[in-house]
Amino acid sequence: MEIARIVVVALVVAVGVAYYRRLMDGPSSSGRSSRRAEALGFLPQSAQNTQQAVADAELERAKSAAARGRWESAAQLLARTREQRDWARRSLYSDALGSHRAARPDSWLDAWEAAAGPDDPDLALVRARATVSLAWHLRGGGWAKDTSREQFAGFHDTLARAPRLNARAAELSPDDPSPYVSEIWAALGLGYSREKMRQIWKEITARDPYHYGAHCAALQYWCAKWRGSEDLAVSFAREAVAKAPRGSLLNALPLIAWYEHRDDDAEEDDFRAPYVVAMVDAALADVAAAPSDHPDTTSVRHLLAYFLTRQGRHEAALQQFRLVDGYVDALPWRYWEDPAAVYCLWRNRAVKGVRRS
């Protein structure tokens, strides 16, 4: 698919639009609304963490240590996920630790490799993911007309290295789906054919058929803004839901597909259509049935908080906001230039809606 249609990419935040700027200037985000939210125990905008979707003290310590050049904590976290075959958490951690900064020369990854050698499977995974992240960082999140020739060159040259690194990570940890999830983000930029994408998907589902992060990444591929269409994205989401057990969180996929294709032009009545309400209710039930330690539950709660607010179900929305407040690197907030501001906008609207009822 034409790269000119990129609006938001992995780990790159898109630029906000005038619609949200108008909302941000409106009464729902005024100082009075913020004070009401804070009086109920919610954190102010300035205290929202825009780098994570969920509180995870171990991950935060590992990221902080990595920023100081120390690799040991990250290595311990990744090794534990591999030994426990906790693939969902492994993908989450490799995404968080594999930032574009980690791929720079003389980073903490180089120190890790000097100590552990190039054949460490955890190091290989983070390096592959960091290379993908660096490529998208070099490109930037703007439209093609706003992207320089140098940015495109850096993007393509860097991303072209990712398939080899992902393949090496897969070779070193054969049961791990995470390298293939990383490959999906390379597939978007390198323009993999649908058949090649289906081959990647077979590798993932053979290892973890209900991997939430993998499904979210694959859904992006099938969206109209990438290599698919709204029909293909919706079909992918529905097929995943039909096969998934309760508690897998995959009932969020139809909501994501709807958001990706309808949110920009949607009116309030569109959000309140019976079939959209039914999708929200199905995702709520899935979250309620999910294991208490599922690492992706919070990401789904963020999405639910937004949809419930748009549907005028403010009490239910506030229940979700209470469970996620403080960490906002999640859909839909992460798509905006200032995710904390947009998050607080909708949270404060839910607070206001409850007060009015």
The answer to whether 287 touches 304, Cβ cutoff 8 Å, is yes
Task: For residue 26, give the nearest of 278, 349, 251, 327 by alpha carbon.
Answer: 349
Residue type present at position 117: G
The residue among 29 and 283 whose pLDDT is bigger is 283
Task: For residue 295, give the nearest of 10, 56, 51 by alpha carbon.
Answer: 56
**Rounded distance between C-alpha atoms, residue 124 and residue 215, angstroms:** 22
The answer to whether 138 touches 11, Cβ cutoff 8 Å, is no
**Rounded distance between C-alpha atoms, residue 74 and residue 62, angstroms:** 5
What tens digit of pLDDT does each residue of 296-355 get?
Answer: 999 999 999 999 999 999 999 999 999 999 999 999 999 999 999 999 999 999 999 998
What tens digit of pLDDT does each residue of 244-279 get?
Answer: 999 999 999 999 999 999 999 999 999 999 999 999
DSSP β-bridge partners for residue 49: 327
Task: For residue 51, give the nearest of 302, 330, 304, 296 by alpha carbon.
Answer: 330
Q: Would you say residue 15 has pLDDT above 50?
A: no
**Rounded distance between C-alpha atoms, residue 347 and residue 48, angstroms:** 12
The answer to whether 15 touches 142, Cβ cutoff 8 Å, is yes
What tens digit of pLDDT does each residue of 51-88 get?
Answer: 999 999 999 999 999 999 999 999 999 999 999 999 99
Q: What is the pTM of this model?
A: 0.91
Q: Would you say residue 30 has pLDDT above 80?
A: no
The answer to whether 330 touches 302, Cβ cutoff 8 Å, is yes
DSSP letter string, 66-86: HHTT--HHHHHHHHHHHHTT-
Tokens representing 261 are: 């294709």
Q: Which residues of 168-181 are buried (b: 16+ CB within 10 A; e: fewer)?
A: bbbebbeebbbbbb
Q: Would you say residue 130 has pLDDT above 60?
A: yes
